[in-house]
Amino acid sequence: MFYDLPPLLVDEVRTWTAGSVVPVKALVYIHARDNATGVIYTAEWRHDSFEFMSPSQEKDAVAHGGIKFEHNDDFVPARILFSQYHKTATVRGSSLEGSIKEAQER
């Protein structure tokens, strides 16, 4: 299940180099209802850059790059938004948006 996968954390992502391709899973809610069922997609993240949103505080961060979902042939520009407090990551900017985690269990 998606919730059993380890979170995608800032400490790991900040070590990625530009051009790295990493397998991830995304949980996307197709319908905007309170009781909507999420769909888990397998995807690849191609990393470009990483930065903290508040330079004086390492609180929240964003990774820039591209994502390729299992049903796509090409990477599309996207970003991953991190909340270190909540230990969550969210992919934004592609046609599918949602929570994102590492693809493999630790």
pTM to 2 decimal places: 0.86
Nearest CA-CA partner of 99 in 49, 44, 24: 24
Q: Give 79's contacts (C-beta < 8 A, 6+ positions apart).
A: 62, 63, 64, 65, 91, 92, 93
Pairwise CA distance, residues 64 & 49, whole Å: 5
62 is written with which tokens? 């964003």
Q: What is the pLDDT of residues 45-85, one digit of tens each?
A: 999 999 887 766 656 889 999 999 998 899 999 999 998 88
d(CA 70, CA 49): 23
Domain count, the chain: 1
**DSSP class of 13:** H
- Res 100: pLDDT: 93
Confidence of residue 106 (pLDDT cuts 50, 70, 90): very low
Give the residue numbers spanning the domain of 46.
2-102
pLDDT higher than 80, residue 87: yes
Query: Which amino acid is located at 91 in the chain?
Result: V
Residue 41: Cβ within 10 Å count: 20
